[in-house]
Amino acid sequence: MNGRGNREVQVKPRPLGPDGFPAPSDFDGPPADVAGCIDLHMHSTCSDGAFEPEFLVRWARKLGLKAIALTDHDTMKGVRRAMNEGSRQGVEVIPGCEISVAYSQGTFHLLAYFIEPENRQFTDRLDEIAHNRHARNQKIVAKLGEFGMAVTYDEIRAEAGEAVTGRPHIARVLLKRGYVKSTQEAFDLWLGDDRPCYFEKETFGPREAIEHVRRCGGVPVMAHPYWLNRRDLQDLEQYLSELKDMGLMGVECVYSDHPPEFRRQCTGIAQRLGLVVTGGADFHGGVTKPEVSLGSGPGGGFKVPAELLEGLKSAAARARVQP
């Protein structure tokens, strides 16, 4: 499993400043000046983010971001809302989605760009996986009951609201009911990988995921490759080459958690393989990663240059004519 399997899932929104947006003082160091930049990776309340899609677009306008992409986990539910708000605010919103993919060493995430949110071919498969996730969640609830934690699936769905229901919402219900002291403890003791109440979830395999995105006219991009834990660069390049043969079109080299040297190395790999370079902060909006803002990363030392969007758009044009 990759190193993010048991990550903190608290999504309590950060405090807002007088202007109605998260205050710079909440961040680790001064925020970057991201005016004219882009951010192609963020999450809303439709998955595990803390803010509504429309709020993210309004904040992007305030920050001066040229374009953003909403990439919620395994759902397109918030994308049209974000695009409509983008039209009102004068912010370009790229439709996107972040898909979980199972492979031999665990899971990785695949970003799918430029698929219309009403594309039934794409969303029906996501809905099928969501149905199987529903069955998995019910198994988790039943197993928790065996350990004396009496929670109901109705409670968990209510906690999730419009978001895709998953382990983060189960963790929050356990916290509210007093069974754990924090959502992280819920994962550490019960819900995390290899914990007593963990069940595997159905997800895409690499080839199926990439080909599904391409069939739907989208651009498949490997998200945050540093999390693959393939520190040997030749190994990483070989695996990305294999994924390119399956139809992968890009790599998220510019990412808030990537060390600067890895960003440069990853960019070199992408260029050698003929893959598009993309970037994003992966903003969720919770209080636990204050160093990541919309469009910027730790200490204000990270931002995504706007010229990367042109490469992604060129890939989208190719994807439409070469499914």
pLDDT (0 to 100) of residue 60: 97
pLDDT (0 to 100) of residue 62: 95
Q: Tell me, rounded to whole angstroms, the distance of Cα 255 from its chain centroid.
A: 12
Burial group, residue 221, by CB count within 10 angstroms (0-12, 13-18, 19+): buried
Q: Tell me, rounded to whole angstroms, the distance of Cα 129 from its chain centroid.
A: 17
* Cα separation, 277 vs 180, whole angstroms: 41
Q: Do residues 78 and 46 touch, judged by C-beta distance below 8 A?
A: yes
The residues near 220 (Cβ < 8 Å, ≥ 6 apart) are 110, 111, 112, 209, 210, 213, 214, 247, 248, 249, 250
pLDDT (0 to 100) of residue 105: 80
pLDDT in tens, the chain (323 residues): 333 433 334 456 777 877 888 765 444 455 678 999 999 999 999 988 889 999 999 999 999 999 999 999 999 999 999 999 999 999 999 999 999 898 888 789 999 999 999 999 999 998 888 888 889 999 999 999 999 999 999 999 888 876 668 888 899 999 999 999 999 999 999 999 889 999 987 778 999 999 999 999 999 999 999 988 666 899 999 999 999 999 999 999 999 989 999 999 999 999 999 999 999 999 988 755 667 889 998 766 789 999 999 999 999 999 987 65
Domain-by-domain residue ranges, the chain? 34-126+202-321, 133-191
pLDDT (0 to 100) of residue 12: 65
Fold of 34-126+202-321: TIM Barrel (3.20.20)
pLDDT (0 to 100) of residue 30: 53
pLDDT (0 to 100) of residue 130: 80
Fold of 133-191: DNA polymerase; domain 1 (1.10.150)
* Cα separation, 211 vs 101, whole angstroms: 12
pLDDT (0 to 100) of residue 270: 98
Global pTM value: 0.80
pLDDT (0 to 100) of residue 25: 45
Handedness of CA 214, 52, 25, 94 (dihedral sign): positive
